[in-house]
A and B are shown apart, each in its own frame.
Chain A
Amino acid sequence: AQTVTQSQPEMSVQEAETVTLSCTYDTSENNYYLFWYKQPPSRQMILVIRQEAYKQQNATENRFSVNFQKAAKSFSLKISDSQLGDTAMYFCAFMIYNQAGTALIFGKGTTLSVSS
């Protein structure tokens, strides 16, 4: 079965600090993509960062970076210089392509609160 596990239901951090959200996944597929999505109170899902599984280099997007460990099936998100606008629920997900088509599987999410 394809699964995504986010072991931290809630996290909190002060403005300007760094926080790391954990994610592990399980799949037997070799080709897949990994994502972190953000869902603010508006409910609109927003892509934060993506990683191709065949790339060894960790993806970065401004204050957001990932630590991708393929052998360990681990994909954590680091948020540097946290801002109040980062307060949201964060979902880890992976996308696989196989004979059944494309599947996009999500974890249960981590609620991040950034305080001043």
Chain B
Amino acid sequence: DVKVTQSSRYLVKRTGEKVFLECVQDMDHENMFWYRQDPGLGLRLIYFSYDVKMKEKGDIPEGYSVSREKKERFSLILESASTNQTSMYLCASSSAAAGNTEAFFGQGTRLTVV
């Protein structure tokens, strides 16, 4: 059974804290993605990575950074958490093989910054 696992389902952090959201996939996928989901705004791409140590900015990278030191793990970092980063965060992965394009998602992390 394919799996994308996010380290926490719910998280509460204080303003100014450094926050790490971890995502691990067991499918040997090359591509990994971080999104935030807000009501009425859908899924907005924060960062994506197509290989180890490679990263590309998505539509809303401000206030976030990422790390991909190993193929299976893609971390999202909030350098100094702010209340406007309260949101649902979704991680996904997909294969780079042609024709094998389905993206698999984690269960989401609902982050509250107080």
Contacts and interface: CB of A to CB of B under 8 A. Distances in A.
B18 to A, nearest CB: 25
A106 B42 contact: yes
Q: Number of contact residues on B: which range applies?
A: 20 to 34
B45 A104 contact: yes
Most A-side CB within 10 Å, residue of B31, B43, B49, B108: B43
Interface in A58-116: 91, 93, 95, 97, 100-109
B42 A47 contact: no
Interface of A: 6, 9, 33, 35, 43-45, 47, 50, 52, 91, 93, 95, 97, 100-109
B48 interface: yes
A43 B54 CA distance: 28
* Chain B interface, DSSP helix/strand/loop, else mixed: strand
28 contacts: A9-B40, A33-B101, A35-B102, A35-B103, A43-B88, A43-B108, A44-B105, A45-B90, A47-B102, A47-B103, A91-B42, A93-B43, A95-B101, A100-B56, A101-B31, A101-B50, A101-B54, A102-B30, A102-B50, A102-B94, A103-B58, A104-B31, A104-B45, A104-B94, A104-B103, A107-B42, A108-B41, A109-B42
* Chain A interface, DSSP helix/strand/loop, else mixed: strand
Given A44-B107, A101-B49, A104-B31, 7 more contacts: A33-B101, A43-B108, A44-B108, A45-B90, A91-B42, A102-B50, A106-B44
